[in-house]
Chain A
Amino acid sequence: MPEKKEESYFVGIIDPVKVRKSILESSRSVIQSLHRFERFKVLRQKKIEGIQNLNDVMKEIKSLVGRLKMELPKAPQQAKKKPSSWKDAKEEKRQQPDSRAARPSSADRSPKIKSELERLEEELGKVEKKLADLE
């Protein structure tokens, strides 16, 4: 018995040159994108190094400012101006933030684990308090 040949079907491509060109152009664009990605990675690496470098310099500046503070004598702090009337005193008290509300609960923060951010926030608070005392 003769073997039955499988029939093949063909789909016509109307503009094969255009199709081929489109495939090649897509391929080129993909390769260019991959190339761009490599360049992007280098840029990002450089940026990360820059940020690290900036962080180091900022730490150095902080230490230098600390040294300046140590070298200079402490200025006597002015006593806080007394309120002239009970109304002023009441107004002043009203403007002050509630210290109980500002203080985080023990559940929120563990004293043992203090992140760099929390340490800086604390330091900032101290500096702001000193500035407020000077005013």
Chain B
Amino acid sequence: MQENHSQIFVKIDEYRDVLDILNLTKEKVNEAKDILNTIIRLKNEEDTEIENWHNELEEIEKKVSFLDKTLFDIDNR
């Protein structure tokens, strides 16, 4: 089935304006992509920090538990 799309004409000076805006838009889209990549990188770094934090806290817990056993669990010596 043939689609009925009527053609449109744009004045040449307006067309140049349109091209300028389009180029600027493309630049901004690239800028947005760069910023988004930075945010993703920062988020990954944050996640890594949280993971390390978690591991470290578990280590501290183990050590405190050992101290608790050694110092206060007199009966089971």
Contact = CB atoms under 8 A, between A and B. Distances in A.
Interface of A: 11, 13-15, 18-19, 22-23, 25-26, 29-30, 32-33, 36-37, 39-40, 43-44, 46-47, 50-51, 53-54, 57-58, 60-61, 64-65, 67-68, 71-73, 75-76, 78
B31 A57 contact: yes
Interface in B6-42: 6, 8, 10, 14, 17-18, 21-22, 24-25, 28-29, 31-32, 35-36, 38-39, 42
Main secondary structure, interface of A, reads: helix
Nearest to A29: B60
A119 B18 CA distance: 27
Interface residues of B, number: 39
Which 10 pairs across A and B sit closest by C-beta, in order of nearness?
A47-B42, A50-B39, A64-B25, A26-B63, A54-B35, A57-B32, A29-B60, A61-B28, A22-B63, A40-B49
